[in-house]
Chains A and B, each alone.
Chain A
Amino acid sequence: MEKLNVYAAKLVPKNENFTQGHRACQGCAEVLALRHIGKALGKNVIIASATGCMEVVSSPFPFTSWDVPWIHVAFENAAAVASGAESGLKALMRKGKISPRKIFVLALAGDGGTNDIGLQALSGALERGHDFLYICTDNEAYMNTGIQRSSATPWGASTTTSPAGKVIPGQATWKKNMAAIAAAHDIPYVATACPSYPFDLMEKVKRGARIPGPAYIHVLAVCPTGWRSPPDLSIRLGRLAVETGIFPLYEVVDGKYKITVDVPELRPVEDYFRLQGRFRHLTKDMIDQIQRRVRKEYDRLRKRVEMTMED
């Protein structure tokens, strides 16, 4: 479905719950992901957003891009606010104070608001088993505050707090595997997605929202401003992240792994790095090192798929 297909695209819901007029940068794939998420979830959702680019660009008072109920409280607590909304709805429906019906509760946060400062609130909410969907839109740094590194920044990437210096050449740690951390909570649904694969993304969002209990989706979102990449290449970069195996697309349903967009033969990671200024300083050695790690990780993922396959 993800190859060129003009007609399937016409089947995408027409309603826009995340509407025009937002102030994201040109070519922002994070905001594109919100549009897809909005389409997939429909009208019947309550969203709790964390502080970050998406909150700032979507709600400049007195304007809003949200045509669904939306709340922002702080940076590190989207999962807790969503827990509260879910618990509130549950109690009010049980006590007959509002009509019983299915209202999806979605928590939205960036990689900073998820992997780092929001990890505790997220872990708590996943563990408590609230019926909600958490989506992390990962642009691999704190973009809103000016491209500082996060634990989701990939090894070697240059950011304003992990600059490519003479002694330390950029981010010195490997990207934290947030989807695996979510999966370790034994929740019913975990997935990775990318707006370059919109059908895959929307299907996963629908699935994650419908499954009772907590669901987690980690969305890679190209940020031309922070990645120093041409704004018209955001979709291609997302595809390259998948085709190189750097960001594989998979699902974990009740503990069973499944690759949803398989790449039988991985492209060299260099194809992906070439187009981004944040990796410009990488040496051949460093790229080789990353390539080895990507292969290893991809093989590990394949093994997980085999190991958890139904017999």
Chain B
Amino acid sequence: MMSGKEIVRFKIDGMEVEAEKGRLLLPSILDFGFEIPHLCYHEAVSPGGTCGLCVVELTKDGRKRTAMSCKYTIDDGLEVVTDTEKIRRVRHRAWEVLLARASRSEVLRRMAREAGVEKTSLEMRDDECILCGLCERLCREIVGANALTITRKNGRREVVPDPESCIACGACVYVCPVDCIRMVETEEERTIVRWGRTLKMKKCTACGRSFAPWYQLEYIKERAKLPKDFLDICPDCRG
């Protein structure tokens, strides 16, 4: 529902559309069914602009330029073009950068191949991570655990975990665009492999089945100021 919000009109590849003023361009374009490649964007967290794939060409007041659509907010009379020779060149280059950053990622290679990019001419880094930073933003903004930081080591960026702070919630596993954060779970414990964090699972005092890492439950209780025994019973038994 768009009530109460200011609506602006703009164009995507010639099609007249309407959206809320101030909304980010990328999700609006996607809503209207235009395909734009993007890896580091998630609507729940602030945009990163780190993968470089979502570039579009913008014309506003007669001036033309390219911009990252995940960081651009819509305004009236904007004309967006999602596919030109130049955009293709920029995206091609972005794929090459990503392929170099995550030379071990099978998932990324498959996506790049589908986009028509087979190889990179840049120096390869031996990793699966594309350094999009989505996990870091998420852990900070949504989870609030601040278990990840992006640092520069020897002039290179890295995502560095603080395993002590990680509550093994798995949210980063869910969003990682190249599936390089893996979670292994048994009745006894859960491990976030990439961050080297293993936590014991809490068993429900009613049915005896494990349902969440104990430290995560402690963290939730503390943040939400819940009684001590509040999360002893699993949601299924709570009914």
Q: Give the interface of A toward B (CB within 8 A).
A: 1, 3-8, 10-11, 13-14, 19, 42-44, 67, 99, 101-103, 199, 232-233, 235-236, 239
Please give, as numbers and ranges, the residues of chain A lying within 8 Å of B14 by CB-CB distance. 99
Q: Given A7-B142, A44-B30, A1 and B173 touching (CB < 8 A)? A: yes
A102 near B170 (CB under 8 angstroms)? no
CB distance from B37 to the nearest CB of A (A): 13
> Which of B1, B43, B170 sits near A5, CB closer than 8 Å?
B170
Q: Give the interface of B toward A (CB within 8 A).
A: 1, 12-15, 30-35, 42-44, 138, 142-143, 169-171, 173-175, 185, 210-212, 220, 234-236, 239
A10 CA / B44 CA spacing, docked (Å): 7
B143 near A5 (CB under 8 angstroms)? no
Q: Provide the main secondary structure of the chain B interface.
A: mixed
CB distance from A308 to the nearest CB of B (A): 20
Nearest-CB residue, chain B, relative to A100: B13
Q: Provide the main secondary structure of the chain A interface.
A: loop
* Most chain A CB neighbours (cut-off 10 Å) among B12, B42, B236: B236
> Which of A6, A19, A99, A233 sits near B169, CB closer than 8 Å?
A6
B31 near A42 (CB under 8 angstroms)? yes
> Which of A8, A42, A236 sits near B170, CB closer than 8 Å?
A8
A127 CA / B38 CA spacing, docked (Å): 33
Please give, as numbers and ranges, the residues of chain A lying within 8 Å of B169 by CB-CB distance. 5-8
A239 near B236 (CB under 8 angstroms)? yes
Nearest-CB residue, chain A, relative to B44: A11
A7 CA / B212 CA spacing, docked (Å): 12
Contacts A/B (CB < 8 Å), 11 sampled = A3-B212, A4-B212, A5-B171, A10-B44, A10-B171, A42-B30, A43-B32, A44-B30, A99-B12, A233-B239, A236-B239
> Which of A7, A11, A101, A236 sits near B33, CB closer than 8 Å?
A101
Q: Given A3-B211, A13-B43, A232-B239, A8 and B34 touching (CB < 8 A)? A: no
Please give, as numbers and ranges, the residues of chain A lying within 8 Å of B211 by CB-CB distance. 3-4
CB distance from B104 to the nearest CB of A (A): 20
B239 near A11 (CB under 8 angstroms)? no
A236 CA / B206 CA spacing, docked (Å): 15
CB distance from B208 to the nearest CB of A (A): 12
Nearest-CB residue, chain B, relative to A10: B142
